[in-house]
Amino acid sequence: MTQFTIFLVLIVFVAFLLVVVIMVQNPKGGGLSSTFGGGGGQQLGGVKKTTDFLDKSTWTLAIILLALILLSNISLFDGQGGTQFIDQDQIENVTLPSDNGSGTEGSTEGTEGGGGQ
């Protein structure tokens, strides 16, 4: 398993957790917060504590996801186990076409009629 594959699996896992945490929240005061003490005299942990936990979890998972994405990009180009898109030998062995003045860029010289009709 390459380093990039490990990062990819972790990114998918953290993204799934982030979706779950976001879906549990309800912006109108419902969701998991209302289940734990939102309606009545009994409070199990309190609404404020649950909301704070979900808010901190969202930010933490978002920061972890961003860090994993940046680290996976670095691991992609590390040269040891990463993927190299362009082979250096291929760049050195490329032969460019010679410029013998027969180019057609911006020049009407050498054409019959001079206007390209």
CA distance 47 to 21: 16
| N-terminal to C-terminal alpha carbon distance within the chain | 62
1-43 pLDDT, tens digit per residue, is: 788 889 999 999 999 999 999 888 876 655 555 555 555 444 4
Answer whether residue 97 shows pLDDT above 80. Answer: no
> Domain limits of the chain?
1-27+45-78
Per-residue tokens: 22: 């976001």
Predicted TM-score of the model (pTM): 0.53
- What crossing angle do the helices spanning 3-24 and 47-76 adopt, rounded to 10°? 160
